[in-house]
Each structure stands twice: as C-alpha cells, then as structure tokens.
Structure 1
Amino acid sequence: MAATDNESTYIRAIRLFNTNETDCSFETGKIPTRNKIDANYFFCQTGTGELEHIPHPAPRRQFVITLKGRLQFTVTNGDTFILEPGIILIAEDVNGPGHTWEVTDGNEWERIYIPIDSNSDTSFLADPS
C-alpha cells in the first residue's frame, strides 16, 4: 500500500542545522511514519540539567523525542520555535555555539535520544517555503 501525502502518514518534525561554521538555524517539516531509523542504541533523560539557557551544539546527530514537557528553543539569529510531545527534533547543529532552550511549562523535560550516524538519512521533508 503506497503512502499518501496526508498528515496521518507523517509525524511533525523540526530540524536544527548549521548554516555555516558558527551559526545554526531550524526548519519545520515532517518525517514519514513507519520509517526505519538506522540506530544502534537510544537513551532516556529526564529533568532539565545544566544546559538550559546555555548555548550549546548538539553533541552528535540525533533524533530527540519529547515524551513530556514544552520547550522554547532559540537559534543563533534569535529565532525561536516550540518543541512539545508529538514533534520530533532532529538535532544536526553539531558545530559552533549551537542553540539554547528553556522549559516553558512546568520544570520537566522527559525525552529519548536516538543517535544517528553521520551518513544516515533522516528522511526529513521540509515544509514549503
């Protein structure tokens, strides 16, 4: 059965990426459901930790799946986006000062990290400009 281009066959996603060696930006889009992720492991994290409000790049290319929490991310030019359950974050801003984030509702952020190889395809489809 072929997938159709409707919201039921995709999951919303936001991709963080480097625009050059020092800046990062983001784009909104989607990834297909039933998409195989080429990963060897995953790990979970709770709480906000020490990186909230501190600029940092992603430590590796990774999917970040939010289970609980609502956050505002800020990229180097000051643009922001909201991340919450139901939106997959694809963190690929591995160079430069990176991004910041802060929890906007409550004080929890439960998430799963799925590291991906540098040559793996994320199947991300950007929204039309």
Structure 2
Amino acid sequence: MLFHRVPPSLPTHGKTLRKLLVAGLSTLLGLAAVDANAAATAPVSPNSNGIITAYKLYTGKDHASHVLKGTINLKDRVPVTAIHFKYTPAHASYSWHNDPEPQYVISLSGTLKFYTRDGETFVLHPGEVLIATDNSGSGHRWDLIDDQPWRRGYIVLKPGEKDSFVPDTKQP
C-alpha cells in the first residue's frame, strides 16, 4: 500500500484536515489508476517518454507575470500544506488575477489557454502540471478552449519551499 495513514501530527483543524487529505489523495490515486489502465492499451504517442510536462507562472523582477515551460523532477519530494479540488464548466474563462499562494495545479480534464499581460501564452492539457507562483504583479488569465470542463487538483506548497520544476534548457 502506497499510503496507509495520515500522521496525527498534522495541524489540527484536526481530523477534518486529515480526512480531506486522505480523500484528496485517494481521489488522485484512484484517477491515476484509471488513467494507468487506459494508458496501457492506448497507442504510444511521440511524446510518451515518461516526462510530465509542466509550466511555471512566476512574477519577474519587472513585476510582470511570465511563463516557463519544463518538466517535473520525479525524484523530488516537496513539502505541502493542503490539497483541494475544483470544477469549472466547459467554455469558461477567468479574467486577470494572481494566484493566492504558490501551488501545483494538476489538470485532470479540460484544455486551457493562459495569457500574461505581456503577451506570453501557453496551452495546458489534461495530465500536465502548472506551478503557479505569480502571487503578485500583473497576473494572468485563462480560457477553456475545448468542450470539456476543467477538473483539477490544487496542492499548496509549504511557504518558502522549493518546487520540483525543471525548466527546459531552450528558454529565451
């Protein structure tokens, strides 16, 4: 068993936080099992190389939001403080905003196009990860660009901790 017990030493909003973490992880693990079964029978695409595509939104020295493309270091273990999930109907959009706190956003369904005020864009697909750290500055916005709702999990990073993002070496 990968995960059998939540440590009792978690900050207490007590049993409620532990129950939410267990439920959230169980949901993610359950979805991963379903996806793994589907992937076993799916044809291999040219990008099926065991790498998780990731994008990082961050605030630059110019106080503007910027984006980097990269991957997730699969060997890293990163301290986190919370997990929660959200659902947004198909064809939705969200106007200019900053992220409330540094967090991983794991996209389960829906394809989105993100924009920064400086004109940078990227498309986030299901199974990809957004590391959102543009908690100040000019912000970003997004549009759902397919016919699917956006289902995602948010995993909040522990303040001051390093994330596991590895930028592509071909960045401008």
TM-score (norm 2): 0.65
Identity of aligned pairs, percent? 30
The CA RMSD over aligned residues, in Å, is 2.0
SS of aligned partner of 2:97 = coil
Larger Rg: 2
Q: Which of these residues, 95, 98, 104, is aligned with residue 63 of structure 1?
A: 104
User: How many residues get paired?
Assistant: 121
Q: Which of these residues, 87, 92, 97, is aligned with residue 46 of structure 1?
A: 87
- Gap runs ≥5 in structure 2: 1-48
The amino acid of 2:99's aligned partner reads A
C-alpha separation between the residues in 1 aligned to 2:106 and 2:94?
20
Corresponding residue number in structure 1 for 2:65? 24
Report the structure, 1 or 2, having the larger helix content: 2
C-alpha separation between the residues in 1 aligned to 2:157 and 2:101?
8
Q: Which has the higher contact order (CA 8 A, sep 6+)?
A: 1
Corresponding residue number in structure 2 for 1:3? none
Q: Work out whether 1:80 is the aligned partner of 2:113.
A: no
Q: Work out whether 1:93 is the aligned partner of 2:130.
A: no
Contact map agreement 1:47 1:107 (CA 8 A) in 2: no
TM-score (norm 1): 0.84
Deviations 1:58-108 (A, max 9, x none): 110000000010000001211210001121100000002300000000251
Shift of 1:117: 2.1
Corresponding residue number in structure 1 for 2:76? 35
Shift of 1:43: 0.3
Contact map agreement 1:69 1:110 (CA 8 A) in 2: yes
